[in-house]
Amino acid sequence: MISGGGTGGHIYPAIAIAKAWKEKHPQSEILFVGAEGKMEMQKVPEAGFKIEGLPVAGLQRSLSLANLSFPFKLLKSLKISKKLLQDFVPSAVVGVGGYASGPLLFAAQRKGIPTLIQEQNSYAGLTNKLLAKRAKKICVAFPDMERFFPKDRILYTGNPVRKDILQLEGKKEKAMAHFGLNPDRKVILVLGGSLGARTINQAVLTDMKAIEDSGYQMLWQSGKFYFKEMSEKVNLSGLKHIHVMEFIKEMDLAYAAADLVVSRAGALSVSELSLVGKPVIFIPSPNVAEDHQTKNAMAYVSENAALLLKDVEAVGKLKEVTDGLFADENKARKLGENIKKMAKPDAAIEIVEALESIIE
């Protein structure tokens, strides 16, 4: 059983683990457990796996009436988790973080079923820290995670990512044609997550004319919440080399086309970009638990493997930082080489091996 979700950063690694397991053990059955109403309830079946939902929800940080229902939802989720474990009889349970992993792993550990935790971020979430006490293995994506977990059970595997990202060689020409890009202009790829990032979008709007006038072009994933507004503004501007998209499905082609990437610093983005090996400017989201995106980004900045532009400074400063990188080819090349050194291309395989080792 694989449990967790809430965001793509939890769901996509979970699906990658399931696919790697199925490849090695085609006869085995896999059941996902997610939180009702969250994106895993759609994404997991799309990937070809069964999923059951729990009514669990998170505690709001602010005073909220929704918090009053939290203990009831948690108790109900624990009860459903016990029943699912009883019916499915899993050999092991994997938790990838997110609301649903708490009740299921807690129930599994009480029943003596071996559990494995996969922590994507450089700063461990509260649920995983609590569950780690009884977990058999803890697979992490960043070094120095002994601060949060028992050292003897930590495996530094990296985050599992989509397979197509491992094969970018020879795709540049196809990528340029696919997105309608000009082969004579450098490409800035801008990523703010599937829903979008307000600050990054605002920074692009502020500097897009100057960026095009400097001879660059942009492939810009504005996200679901902002696409309509951003595409209208680009159309009104008359700019020809700012290509705005709601969501980029063909990420392998987007990465192949890019000369430089501007991105949030979610765990999955960071792991994918290390495999891509292009110069990156991280603009971490300040609106996440324990400011973990800044911590993710700093793990790379400290190794001279990426640049960091603070969210509060991004609007009005984006072009200055991209210009600086394009002007200093040595620096850009070095960043690309260093980020590639931090890549973990076999993460899914290593997690499967860890899972095999805890199944008696």
Residues at the annotated binding site? 7-9, 121, 162, 194, 248, 267-272, 293
Q: Phi/psi at 191 (nearest 5 deg)?
A: -130, 125
Binding residues for UDP-N-acetyl-alpha-D-glucosamine: 7-9, 121, 162, 194, 248, 267-272, 293
Look at residue 17 and give its three-state secondary structure.
Answer: helix
- One-character DSSP codes across 92-125: -EEE-SSTTHHHHHHHHHHTT--EEEEE-SSS--
Which class for 232: exposed (0-12), middle (13-18), buried (19 or more C-beta within 10 A)? exposed
CB 275 within 8 A of CB 158: no
Look at residue 34 and give its three-state secondary structure.
Answer: strand
Task: Locate the DSSP E strands across 100-252.
Answer: 115-119, 137-140, 154-156, 186-191, 216-221, 242-245
Q: What is d(CA 11, CA 158) in angstroms, rounded to the nearest whole number? A: 15
In the chain, DSSP finds a helix count (H) and a strand count (E) of 15, 13
Q: State the residue for tokens 């729990």.
A: 54
Torsion of CA 352, 356, 357, 360, to 10 degrees: 160
Instruction: Return the H-helix or E-strand segment holding 51.
Output: strand 50-54
